[in-house]
């Protein structure tokens, strides 16, 4: 981890991440339990940030400390749509993000679930995670090709903030801030329908199963469940979760019948 960043560089990066999350200084300050003027001084580089405050900020803004402190850090990474790479004899284990498919799956999940009061950002990310990893276990192919990082609140898809902000700008999504059981919740409402021609029947089937099983779970329940999944357990905090780890899953996480394949 690079610790040679100046206070001003750290402050600028925090401000960029806060804006990417759609949070005001007042909202973030409340989550961190500091005053808004203190946060403003942090972002301006006029106030130092200790490791405990930075750790708390990383949990709320969902970033890896190693990435945050690196020289090539970007709060708003470029999102390039890469269609599925050419298949050889072996399964594709290196994810290539398919942005348009990610957007359509996000819209499809929200069409089905946005009206449920429990489906905030935390639940949404877990529904995406299980859709992606369950599909890979079943078909040994990438669904969205999103890479997920292990963060304390659960697996989070990389570049999701950039994609969501782009969808908000394009009037495809609306971000809404609400209070749910006395806790602030970020929700997303779909402003257009998913293009189902972009999804294969097998892809839609896997997503529908995940929605049916988990979309009524609370953020705590689905987060706790994801923390018992082998891909999560076998990954170090802050690192990218390897899709290949789905083949080491046990019941109830495994979605593939391996006994039939050995008969």
> What is the reported pTM?
0.84
Which one, of 175, 191, 160, 189, lies nearest residue 79 by Cα? Answer: 160
Is a pLDDT exceeding 90 seen at residue 21? no
pLDDT at 215: 97
Query: Which part of the chain has CATH 1.10.260.40?
Result: 7-68
Above 80 in pLDDT, residue 254?
yes
Q: Give the per-residue pLDDT at 186.
A: 93
Q: What is the mean pLDDT of residues 231-258?
A: 93
**Ramachandran region, residue 37 (left: φ > 0; alpha: ψ -120 to 50; beta: rest):** alpha
Mean pLDDT, range 140-147, rounded to an integer? 95
Q: Token pair 């989070």 is at which residue?
A: 156
pLDDT tens digits, one per residue of 63-104: 888 888 888 787 776 666 655 444 444 455 568 899 999 999
Supply the pLDDT for residue 62.
Answer: 81
CATH 1.10.260.40 fits 7-68, yes or no: yes
Burial of 93 (0-12, 13-18, 19+ CB in 10 A): exposed
Size of the chain in residues: 263
Q: How far apart are CA 207 and CA 143, in angstroms?
A: 10
CB–CB of 224/122 below 8 Å?
Answer: no
33 pLDDT more than 60: yes
């Amino acid at each position: 981890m690079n610790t040679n960043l100046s206070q001003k560089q750290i402050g600028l990066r925090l401000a960029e991440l806060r804006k990417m999350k759609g949070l005001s200084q007042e909202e973030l300050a409340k989550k961190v339990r500091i005053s808004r003027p203190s946060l403003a001084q942090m972002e301006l580089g006029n106030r130092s940030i200790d490791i405990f405050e930075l750790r708390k900020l990383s949990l709320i803004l969902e970033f890896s400390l190693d990435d945050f402190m690196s020289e090539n850090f970007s709060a708003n990474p470029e999102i390039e749509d890469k269609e599925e790479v050419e298949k050889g004899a072996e399964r594709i284990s290196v994810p290539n993000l398919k942005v348009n498919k990610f957007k359509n799956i996000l819209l499809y999940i929200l069409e089905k679930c946005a009206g449920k009061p429990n489906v905030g950002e935390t639940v949404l990310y877990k529904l995406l995670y299980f859709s992606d990893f369950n599909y890979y276990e079943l078909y040994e192919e990438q669904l969205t090709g999103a890479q997920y990082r292990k963060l304390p609140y659960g697996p989070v898809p990389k570049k999701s903030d950039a994609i969501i902000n782009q969808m908000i700008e394009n009037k495809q999504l609306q971000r809404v801030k609400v209070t749910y059981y006395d806790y602030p919740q970020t929700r997303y409402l779909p402003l257009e329908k998913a293009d189902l021609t972009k999804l294969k029947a097998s892809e839609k089937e896997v997503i529908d199963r995940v929605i049916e099983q988990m979309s009524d779970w609370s953020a705590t329940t689905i987060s706790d469940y994801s923390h018992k999944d082998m891909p999560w357990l076998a990954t170090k905090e802050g690192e990218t979760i390897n899709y290949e780890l789905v083949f080491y899953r046990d019941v109830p996480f495994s979605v593939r019948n391996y006994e039939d394949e050995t008969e």
